[in-house]
A and B are shown apart, each in its own frame.
Chain A
Amino acid sequence: MMRVNEKLRTLTVLVVVWAFVLGMAIGPQPARAIDLGGAVGDLVKIFGIGWVVDRFSGDINDTINNVLSQHEAEIAGATKVVPILRVGEGGGTAVGAAQVQGPREKVRQCQAVAELELEFGSLRGRALLPVSTKSNLTSTIRGISGVGVSANIKFPI
């Protein structure tokens, strides 16, 4: 009886070790776009724009680059989708998203696009500055040189 228990214990340990190694070898599955059939709007309402941008940034980025590729107007260099944060609201709350473009290392630094609203009479403008932080967004913040916005992503809620 003792011998059977010992065998079972050994077998269990072997199975557990094998499963662990298998998990290491396979690794986490990459995130894939799923057809939510319009559920993105619900996700935005429940979790907020920031969460949705974080979750779907890669897929939105690919969508934009595919459209550009179809029109033979691809961007040379790196691109990335980041949230747009309004200056003066303490940061943290995304009001939209933007695709930024530029040299790979500078795009990697970019964490968000700071939006600053300007008005001159009947002219209304929005400064869009790619920045390397998501906090302390004040009107004195400076953008990352060499990085620009290539697409404005709007969430109609």
Chain B
Amino acid sequence: MKGAGFAVIACALAAGAFWLGTQADHALGVGPAVAAAQGGTPTVADRANTINGNTVGEVLVNGDVVIRMRTSAGGFSAPERAQIIARRVQSWLDGPYSPYDLAVRRGAGGAAELRAAGDLIVDVNPSEASALGSTAMGLADAWRSNIQMALGVQPAPGTPLMGDGGGSGTPATGARQEPVESYGNKVVPIISVGDQTAIGAARVNGPDSKLDDVIACTQLETSFQDFVEIDIYVPVRTRGGLDRVQQVGVTGLGDLRF
């Protein structure tokens, strides 16, 4: 009887100690989950994914998809191309770098090149771009912005083009440089996806160069737990399309009262 009582007390003490341990881990941040989320060096990864039945290759920086390859080229499949690009990005980030080392230049045959401190990151071919309804230069610029945003800085518009020999005009350090482009506002119609009729108006805010591209906001609707209603706004280049203009967000909604 005495032994059973002792066992119960011991179990209670052990359970209390276990709970205290989890709380100490949470408070002090010494657990493996916390440690994995920290670290100053950007992480680069690649993966194959399937979107709408097509296999694509994705490059991730700090967990964000920054480049998505949809086509094969040079005998390499889309996931293989993503793997090669991830290796190049990793190599660039392993050394002293600045997010503003990235620059876009015009390539041969309508292609575009994204380079980091003069070294090639990715060749953007026109077919890759047209699959997204964009141009090679436009897509390369979007990927450059994606990488810079994943590295935690504002994308710099009009980064000077670099020569083949490398050597960027920016210091080769991890120091931050704030871009100087001004932000503006614009009012555009809100249109349901795949539709043409405006269902409201949105004020969008973003860098001036990006705002010029936005002609509407496409609205997607979804729900959470069958209770919460969610309207998603995608600033786009085409009415009712989903060709998102990055770095632009909504700062106001308007409608007509009848």
Q: Please list the residues of chain A having a beta carbon within 8 angstroms of any beta carbon in chain B.
A: 8, 11-12, 15-28, 30, 35-41, 44, 56, 59-60, 63-64, 67-78, 99-105, 122-130, 143, 145-156
- Please pick, from B6, B10, B218, B254, the residue contacting A125 in the complex, using a CB distance under 8 A: B254
Residues on B with beta carbons closer than 8 Å to the beta carbon of A69: 51
A-B contact pairs, 6 of them (CB 8 A): A12-B13, A28-B22, A28-B23, A60-B224, A125-B252, A126-B252
Q: B211-250, CB under 8 A of A: which get 1 and which 0?
A: 0000000101010111111111110000000111011111
B74 to chain A, nearest CB (A): 24
Is A27's CB under 8 angstroms from B17's CB? no
Bound form: Cα–Cα A130–B251 in Å: 8
Residue of A nearest to B143 (CB): A76
Is B14's CB under 8 angstroms from A156's CB? no
Most chain A beta-carbon neighbours within 10 Å: one of B18, B23, B243: B18
Residues on B with beta carbons closer than 8 Å to the beta carbon of A99: 232
Is A27's CB under 8 angstroms from B32's CB? yes
A22-B21, A28-B26, A104-B152 known; A153 vs B230 contact (CB < 8 Å): yes
Residues on A with beta carbons closer than 8 Å to the beta carbon of B226: 37-38
Q: Closest 6 interchain pairs by CB? A: A148-B249, A23-B21, A27-B31, A125-B254, A19-B14, A20-B17
Is A24's CB under 8 angstroms from B30's CB? yes
B98 to chain A, nearest CB (A): 16
Is B253's CB under 8 angstroms from A126's CB? yes
Bound form: Cα–Cα A103–B209 in Å: 17
A5 to chain B, nearest CB (A): 10
Within 8 A of A (CB), among B1-39: 6, 9-10, 13-26, 30-34
- Please pick, from A15, A67, A143, A152, the residue contacting B233 in the complex, using a CB distance under 8 A: A152
Q: Determine if B145 is an interface residue (Cβ-Cβ < 8 Å).
A: yes
A116 to chain B, nearest CB (A): 9
- Please pick, from B26, B220, B248, the residue contacting A67 in the complex, using a CB distance under 8 A: B220
Residues on A with beta carbons closer than 8 Å to the beta carbon of B16: 16
Q: Please list the residues of chain B having a beta carbon within 8 angstroms of any beta carbon in chain A.
A: 6, 9-10, 13-26, 30-34, 51-52, 62, 64-66, 132, 142, 145-146, 149-150, 152-154, 183, 193, 201, 203-206, 218, 220, 222, 224-234, 242-244, 246-258
B236 to chain A, nearest CB (A): 8
Bound form: Cα–Cα A145–B249 in Å: 10
Residues on B with beta carbons closer than 8 Å to the beta carbon of A124: 254-257
B20 to chain A, nearest CB (A): 6
Bound form: Cα–Cα A143–B154 in Å: 17
Known: A77-B150, A102-B249. 18 other contacts (CB 8 A): A15-B10, A20-B21, A24-B22, A24-B24, A25-B32, A26-B21, A35-B225, A38-B226, A40-B224, A73-B242, A77-B247, A99-B232, A100-B249, A101-B249, A103-B153, A124-B254, A148-B249, A155-B228
Is B34's CB under 8 angstroms from A156's CB? no
Bound form: Cα–Cα A71–B233 in Å: 12
Is B230's CB under 8 angstroms from A149's CB? no
Residues on B with beta carbons closer than 8 Å to the beta carbon of A76: 64, 66, 142, 145-146, 149-150, 246-247
Is B18's CB under 8 angstroms from A123's CB? no
Residue of A nearest to B225 (CB): A40
Is A146's CB under 8 angstroms from B154's CB? yes
Is A22's CB under 8 angstroms from B224's CB? no
